[in-house]
Amino acid sequence: MTPPRARTWGRRGCTPVVRVRGRASGRVSMAGMTCYKPGERSRLFYAVREYTGRKDQPKGFGWRDFRDLIVRARIQLGGPIVMVWDNVRLHLTRPLREFIEANAEWLSVVQLPTYAPDLNPTEGVWSLVKRDIGSLAAANLGEITRAVKRRLKKLQYRPHLIDGCLAGTGLVLGARPSESSEESVPPSGPLRV
């Protein structure tokens, strides 16, 4: 478990140091979707997985986890989804592509350029979560997991922060490229898993 870094204050000449126990014995992984639709509040769907180093545990998310997150979003949103994805290797796997092709009537995917975190609103969500846990001195991995889940839950009830993540990308919701000189986002749907 690599501790997050954050700024703090201390007496002049005394650098505050927080000791952390543990040796990379676990990790917390997050997957999420920021969902936007003109005229409606923004939504955040997420999943959190804790890896403690056991042999029977997966280290991160698999394609089935992403599929389940997409299906959960589809059920709750109740309409077609246009997903804008980055090029994470897991997003490009054959089973996930087959799932997308099998559900083409309600699911379409647009790929972002190879490395474009500045165009991805969900990166803003991760930044907000990491900023809050930066000064957390957790005694174990469970405390970090609880803090991450608590912050993500708070973000779900603050759609203005999710809107701010979209505004930070410079993308415009609902506009077509011919209507605006800026890049545009498809009219509705999640913006990344």
The model's pTM: 0.72
pLDDT per residue rounded down to tens, the chain (193 residues): 455 566 677 788 887 776 666 555 688 888 998 888 888 888 999 999 988 878 888 888 889 999 999 999 999 988 888 888 887 788 888 999 999 999 999 998 888 877 777 888 888 888 888 887 877 777 788 888 999 999 999 999 998 998 888 888 887 766 544 444 444 444 444 444 4
Phi, psi of 33 (to 5 degrees): -130, 130
